Structure 1
């Protein structure tokens, strides 16, 4: 049975990891200085290398011929870990093993010395899904860990982890992998598999992966199975159920210009092709997100498309929902543009209601050459908390798009704040959704 691409090309050393430079640097220093902690929490989005780094670290800890900070991948210990047969590396999926009995078993077995290596390494994936009783049992082990045991706890939902667990571990935050890193990996894998792939196809797969290397390789494999030895843009669009750029542009322009007949025509074509309306909405939001800067009407269209996308995912009659919602959007924000947009601007462009530093920043983005209504919109969409040396922008559960936009402009916002502040200010973005997420723009692990 052939290995899937993401398993076949899983990195085996720290040097082979794409992206996560801060994670690699952290472990390079820790290994060279022999400063390994007894417990780590790997936090970050799915498919960004948490389990791969955990296995590499497990090999480093037990490798017989360590090459600086990298495992040799040749000794019996490294080979066994790569094959998944090493008795001193124990992997557990907490999604299906979340009870106290499983953790008690780990706690009891941790007291025994390793069978053949220097360390026993426990890798617990999605450990935020453990029960409260299981967390308490794990905590007792972390409080008094045996010298020969290392815990690596991976999660995509850090907010569900008790603070007592976090405080007894080294927290390492993994980020979404950069677009260029994903492109380079796709090129490398395609070349290794003797597959010719068009640059435009690479671009689409890289965007569709949304920062996840595992997803990127899964998508590439999916397209490879339906292609010969050459992957074209057309193959990629058809296999992944996507729309070409012209179709998406026509849809966005039809909304923007209030062309209801064109919208109905696009809807008919969309459902005749048997494609998902969610994908068209996602691609339209991405298109606007990448190109908008000073167009308030386009910002509002993007916001409304995002709301429609959330609603349509759970609706049984997708076509009716799509048609009604998009036509309502077009009529409300375009056909009645003269009145509705003027009222919108009247309520929206009011920086004089703010005071101090925030007021200066808002005026900065609504006056003169630095006008940028996208940034202005993002700031106005947040709740702002100012304290000594810190500004926190808080986005409610229904403001995920605005939260993502904040991070698109985070460097510019940070620079602007420094221009208007005499002191160093730590800028924090908080999303209060189902998965609350805090990120400090000045953190080494951000």
Structure 2
């Protein structure tokens, strides 16, 4: 910058020492204004310097200039930070969505079917079956340690079920009835086989709790009539089998044979192959034309050969006893034959198709201590059991080692008359029941008490 003291640059405002303004300043500032005077003391005169004579300043007071807007660089010139990877939602393939929808519909339909099935089972199967269940406690003399606990799983063990059948012929009043059918059904679910062991109703045996020898068909009658109790009838019949033959009974089932005939009618009859003609001149006619006359009789004839029988005809076939060529043993064999034919009719389709009617047919005609679970378990087991897995044995007269009894006539003090009976042969019965029931080398046959 030019430092020539003679160069005069006028201030922004006129500093006149004689102006009153300086008098108002503090003393130390008044000297600053004095220094602006020339040596001669003459006041500085303001004059205008032409622009051509004004020197260029080394700096400019930029703050006196108007503010200028500095343009920003183009947006594209700034580097952008990388964006995080976008999470894309993976969509199922179309076949997967269709399959999932189908499974969902099946689940909903299956859930509804299960709910309906449970309701149907509760209302139409379980409750009606409960009407047939009649547990009978075991007597003090009955073995209890070896019997199967109630409501057990059917599979994985062997069962002994005592089947009792009474024909309600009008000469007796419930529960004091004779049992025309007495059969031990041995169900071996381990080896998938069933044995029907029939004991002739005329078997002459000791009846425990009653004392004395009687026909075995009187065991239930004597027990029930003593106290007019169905339960006592079951206990005495059950105890007779256990004491005389050494077979522990796990469950029982009592069937009224008139209900049995109704079931056959509901299922459309049975096909039976009659091996020889049956002529019975003194057949009780208390279920046919004279249902209210317990002493009515008729002549019964059943021709040999294949026969389609309704319920009444099947009942006549299993009840007749007076003219069979093989005697009373023939009736026992006919009972087994009819039960086998009935089993073939009791398939899943026929049972479900006639379920309500079957239950009505058996109402008051069937009592058992099988639980609902056990009944359904046996039904499932029997459905897949082939016919050749069922064997039938009758403990009556025969030949060789299969001679299980002799016909005879004995005096019965209870009846006050002679009775035609079957005298059991324990020497041949024992090996048989040891083999069927897995008794080892037991000597349990003791029909004389």
The interval holding the TM-score normalised by the smaller chain is under 0.3
Structure number with greater Rg is 2
Q: Which has the higher contact order (CA 8 A, sep 6+)?
A: 2
Give the TM-score normalised by structure 2: 0.19
The structure that is strand-richer by fraction is 2
Give the TM-score normalised by structure 1: 0.19
